[in-house]
Amino acid sequence: MSNKFYDNPVIKWVEYRLPIFSFIDESVGSGYPTPKNLNYWWNFGSLAGIVLAIMVATGIVLAMNYTPHVDYAFESVERIMRDVNYGWLIRYIHMNGGSMFFILVFIHMFRGLYYGSFKEPRELLWIIGVMIFLAMMATAFMGYVLPWGQMSFWGATVITNLFSAIPIIGDYIVTWLWGGFSVDNPTLNRFFSLHYLFPFVIFGLVFVHLWALHVHKSNNPAGVEIKSSEDTIPFHPYYTMKDLFGLGVFMIFFMFFVFFAPNFFGEPDNYIKADALVTPAHIVPEWYFLPFYAILRAVPDIWFISAKLGGVIAMFGATLVLMLLPWLDRSKVRSARFRPIYRQLFWVFFVDCLILGWVGANSPDAVFHGIPFLWIGQAGTVYYFAHILIIIPLVSILEKPIMPPASISAAVTADGAATKPAE
Amino acid sequence: MSDTADTDDKTRRDFLLISTCTVGAVGSALAVWPFIDSMNPAADTLALSTTEVDLGPIAEGQSITVVWQGKPVFVRHRTAAEIKDAEAVNLGDLIDPQDDKDRAQKPQWLIMVGVCTHLGCIPLGQKASESKGEFGGWFCPCHGSHYDTSGRIRKGPAPKNLPVPKYIFLTDTTILIG
């Protein structure tokens, strides 16, 4: 497409054989037209990509000093912390990087929900995103097992036992996952192997995610498609600069935790070596799993489905149901800016997710001002599914949206001035 | 190729194509099995699958925990009162109905896997100082399951009784689990 590189004879020679320069330019360069109205909520995808790269880089170095054996894993992590040069820094970056990755991806997903980024023609883009999220959760779970502390061991025990809820073959699956009759050395070995593999699977999915993104380009806060070149600016230098600025702000946040509160997101019990005969008083997963943990525990026995199986179905269903959103939301208007009712319900859903996280952090027997946490968790779970499966479809049919601007440009020019965003 | 009609030729080609694809697909699927099965317990893991326990030193009212297949096994020398409690229960009141006689070969010895059937935590109740739950047996702190003096689930999210492993009495005071 662009002939601008062809002046340099070396680039010209390479480009003729492998058009890599134009490929880069059309992906993240001046040859990629991007909506000119993107706000800072559009920074989080690229930030998540950068954190993925940071996780791989720190992870490779950690693997050079880590021993995946039940007798040495805990000690090898302590050795990394105490003896390996800058081992403490690299491990704390990796450890907190996991939390950062989830913070960024949660914001990225809520942004998609708010601005309707999942809608036609970006359904596959959204579904691939949900798959990335699932792969991230699997990777994070297995990574948390590797230090072989008490939470590692008991988290692994509780989560792998979830599969025993599957009728008939459940117990065989659990034995197969463990490679034995309990979480033990074979389990630790395979989790290490898979924890190293999965980030590359995520890389592959991210590539497909970006491929699909570049077909119809980014959605934008107005939620209207690009109509003409008036609506776009080149990705480079405009959004490379904006993303870099956002990266600077984010790194301040990230490094604050790495240097000043490295164990803020962790559990003290994980600095006790795994003991198969002592269960910690209160097993809690990492914070990013808490809403799902609350859903797992909220489901009672329903008809012939046991609480255990029902909880597992609800927990996995909570993520998988997101894949159906493009078809559940029938509103042609994407952005919540022009959807007065959906916009309010979006925030109700956001608060519901926070409440579920708060319930997940508490013991199911605990009571909050006379209300058992179990009830709060059940109410939150019912709303979660009702929001996605009932409220979103109904609102998308019944709500009368505000007329969106004719184009991205029209929103800020005289002829589009009539349609002021309701935000 | 003969001069027969195209349709005959097509049928033969289709047959070859379909049978080749089928054999190829089945073969590839079968080749996956070794990889899947390699993740099942290995021979040395299986070899550690029995444990012998000397019951002699366990006084009435005491419990010990032994390790079998990497899992804790509760061995409890039950008191007469506990046995009476366990036998007196109306089976209709149980979540997972099972007679106490089917759970203990000799009523004073209760032997079972000490792993909560909910999500695999280890219930409390082995030590005198620990909570035994509302039914005087065991209590799982993770998600609040209560077990009675026969290790049967009475309250909470666990769906099943604590499982009784296969065991035999080698002598009056030694058992072989597994």
Q: Give the pLDDT confidence of A231-282 residue by residue, as tens digits.
A: 999 999 999 999 999 999 999 999 999 999 999 999 999 999 999 888 887 8
Q: Is A30 touching B (CB cutoff 8 A)?
A: no
Element (H, E) at A56: helix A44-63
Beta bridge partners of B139: B124, B146
* Rounded-to-integer distance, Cα B129 and Cα B127, Å: 5
Report the run of H or E that residue A371 belongs to, with start and end.
Answer: strand A371-372
Q: What confidence score (pLDDT) does residue A1 get?
A: 44
d(C-alpha A310, C-alpha A303), whole Å: 10
Write the residue in A184, A297, A308 that is nearest to B159 by C-beta. A308
Contact, A158 vs A207, CB < 8 A? no
Residue A243 is among the residues annotated as catalytic for this protein: yes
Q: What is this structure's pTM? A: 0.87
A162, pLDDT greater than 70: yes
Q: Which carries the bigger pLDDT value, residue A47 or residue B140?
A: A47
3-state DSSP call for residue A405? coil
Report the SS3 class of residue A368: strand
Average pLDDT of each block of 10 consecutive residues along chain B (178 residues)?
58 92 95 93 84 88 87 90 86 85 89 86 86 87 86 87 90 87
Select which of B77, B118, B143, B146 is catalytic: B143
CA nearest to A305 within chain B: B159
Beta-carbon separation of B143 and A307 below 8 A: no
Residue A128 pLDDT exceeds 60: yes
**What integer pLDDT is reported at residue A290 of this predicted model?**
96
A182 closest CB neighbour out of B39, B70, B144 = B70
Name the token pair of A134. 């699932």
| pLDDT score for B70 | 81
Among the partner residues B39, B122, B159, nearest to A279 by beta-carbon distance: B122
Q: Which residue of B has its CA nearest to A312?
A: B119
| Rounded Cα gap, residues B164 and B151, in angstroms | 9
pLDDT in tens, A368-395: 888 989 999 999 999 999 999 999 999 9
Assigned token pair, A135: 């792969």
Assess whether A286 carries a catalytic annotation.
Answer: yes
User: Vertex A105, ends A102 and A110: CA angle to 5°?
Assistant: 125
Q: How near does any CA of chain A get to the CA of B8, in Å?
A: 43
Out of B41, B119, B158, name the one closest to residue A181 (CB).
B41
**pLDDT band for position A418 (cuts 50, 70, 90):** very low
Q: Any CB–CB contact under 8 A between B49 and chain A?
A: yes
Determine whether B143 is an active site residue. Answer: yes
Report the pLDDT value the prediction gives residue A303, as an integer from 0 to 100: 78
Burial class of residue A18, CB neighbours in 10 A (0-12, 13-18, 19+): exposed
Decide which of A359 and A305 is more confident.
A359
- The total number of residues shown for chain A amounts to 423
Task: Identify the pLDDT of residue B4.
Answer: 52
- Looking at per-residue pLDDT, the higher value among B132 and A129 belongs to A129
User: Minimal Cα distance from A183: which residue of B?
Assistant: B70
B71 contacts in chain A (CB < 8 Å): 181-182, 276
The pLDDT of residue A94 is 97
**Burial status of residue A203 (CB atoms within 10 A of its CB: 0-12, 13-18, 19 or more):** middle
Q: Across all residues in chain A, what is the average pLDDT?
A: 93
pLDDT at B61: 86
Which residue would you say has higher pLDDT here, B97 or A329? A329
Question: In percent, how much of chain A has pLDDT > 90?
Answer: 82
Query: Three-state SS across chain B?
Result: CCCCCHHHHHHHHHHHHHHHHHHHHHHHHHHHHHHHHCCCCCHHHHHCCCEEEECCCCCCCCEEEEEECCEEEEEEECCHHHHHHHHHCCHHHCCCCCCHHHCCCCCCEEEEECCCCCCCCCCECCCCCCCCCCCEEEEECCCCEEEECCCCEEECCCCCCCCCCCEEECCCCEEEEC
What is the average per-residue pLDDT within A210-216? 95
ipTM higher than threshold 0.90 = no
Q: Which residues pair with B148 in a beta bridge?
A: B136
pLDDT confidence of residue A125? 98
Q: Is the pLDDT of residue A420 over 60?
A: no
Residue A321 in this model has a pLDDT that exceeds 50: yes
